[in-house]
A and B are shown apart, each in its own frame.
Chain A
Amino acid sequence: MEILKIESTEDSPQIVLDRESNILEISGRSLPEDVNTFYEPMMSWIEEYAKDPLDVTVFNFKLTYFNTASSKIILDILTQFEEMIEEGHEVMVRWHYPEEDEDMMEAGEEYSEMVDVPFEMVSYS
């Protein structure tokens, strides 16, 4: 699979999806003007990846902020992982949050209650 790499801007996150190197990560701030257009390549990549995933998929969310529209996209991604698990694949989410950011930590916990996907909460300073 081709590597998908999107550089971050002030209002959009960095995305690195690299199957060969086992790096699946989104990081930074997410409040792009047109959320659906921005995330379309990522959603297509994950949909393709789900057809032939790695033995163990570990997806890293390392966001510092996301807006309401982006929160729905994150849920769509998690729902895709849920479907992969239902098909017998092993998927795990690492939810990284700044150690002083309780909101971001609780947001990860809320997501983990919404979908049947294992979450690992990782704080960083």
Chain B
Amino acid sequence: MARTVTPFLALLARVLPVGRRLWRVIAARGARVVASLRRTWRRSLQVRVVTITLVASSLLVGVFAYLVVHNITEVVLENARRDVEGRLSEGQEYAAKQLSNHTTPSEQGLKATFENTVNYLAGGDPAQLGGVVVTLRASAHGVAPATSPKVDVDGMLTPELRRQVESGHIADQIRTGDPFDTGQRTKYLIYGSPVPTRFGQAELYYFVPLTRWDQIATGARSTVLATGFALVVLLGLLSNLVTRMVVNPVRVAARTAQRLSAGLLDQRMAVNGEDDLAMLAASFNQMATNLQRQIVRLEEMSRLQRRFTSDVSHELRTPLTTVRMAADLIYAERHSFDPAVTRTAELLHAELDRFEDLLTDLLEISRFDAGFAVLDAEPTDLVPVVRRVVDRMEPLAERCRAPLRVVVPDGPVIAEVDSRRVERILRNLVGNAVEHGVGKPVEVVLGADESAVAITVRDHGVGLKPGEEKLVFNRFWRADPSRARQTGGTGLGLSISLEDARLHGGWLEAWGAPGRGAQFRLTLPTRAGDRLTSSPLRLVPADADPDPPETSGEREPAEPQPPGRAPTRPVGPRTPVEAGSSEVTR
């Protein structure tokens, strides 16, 4: 037993992996085919319409054809049956009359009567009768059966039919056979009837070939099938044609719209005829023309504005340099003037510094607007960057009596960033926080995960009013326009920081609440060019949240929004830069 099982198991073990592999290949290929079909089905309206039309019309035509063919066959068969029944009834009467001459089965004339009767009923010449066979039997009485024409039909006579007829019933059955040995099997309708005689019961059977009836049924079926098939094909073609007529312009419109959206503003649809689709194309074209005109006008205006800003900045720098040199000279000699003039020289020097900064920022902004800004990203450890910025801001912090606190991970936080721009952003954020910190501590936190790094700057100053989270990034925006500028900011710092973050593919977001301070978060991808999906740090500080979440690094959409605050980060697959600028809602 074991001996026989072992090789079998071994074979099984060898065969199984092969089979499994084969199955896997087949399954994979099938899945591919199915997926491709599914894609086609989803994408092509034409395929859907044609398929549905084909299936529905096939079903309808099939059902109809089935009913028609079934009915025709029934009618044909019923006719054949009635025909044979009539013959049988007459034949039975005739046979009964003929056999009435005989009172015992042993009579000598009985055989002759059998023969004569079937000959008479079969009608003589078998060639002219289409193969009708008549047989008269009285096996129960030991009389040899008589058949005309003389062929062997015993094989076609089923015991069940004989039993029914012998028990006194008229019965029929359809059988297929070749009694004439023509090599071609023919369907026969066999009808049997008992024939009462004086010596007992004889049985009369008619074998009527259904060739003609079968031909009628087959012809009807072929006609119906051909018609149905043609109808289905026609419907398919028709639906294909109609769908194509409708879908093609729609496709063209979709393609054109795609091209338009890709910037090819001179793409237009061909307008053919005057129908609805032509109207669609014409309207589409008109819309495209209007859009194009508007876009071109706006672009031109924007370009002119940017150019003007840039040009003004450049043009101002040259006289400024001269004014600067003169002012520096006066400033250096201020001690030699009377105190009022000294004060003036000092004011002139300070305002010139501010003016220079403003010009620098304006030039930077105009570079961004002109699209000339280039990211010079390289792997950088952000911990020293943060420390450096904080160290630099320490004097300002001391002046403002706002202690700076830094929280960084123990290890290095490496990311592909442009350290100059990151430093500028941090400087801006920390400077803002110190300025608005009203002497309260400012915290700078650095966090990282696999895909992103984040830096938050938290102050505990006056905070932001609802809606200001977004406004803070506008150019020259002030929370309180009446407030004098003490720290010498230009009003462009956060705008430039936002552009820098955008250049990195990162986010710059703000949170704030009146009296509770504000927090800014910079999130950058670890690898330049990656898409951001989440930030390692929370935008809303934990102390501002009545029920803080357990960890940082949560997915932003799940972040519970404090009451009265707008969502602070983008929803959906948009570019983070866009999100950073447009979706921040303060």
Chains A and B are bound partners: no
B: residues with CB less than 8 A from A are none
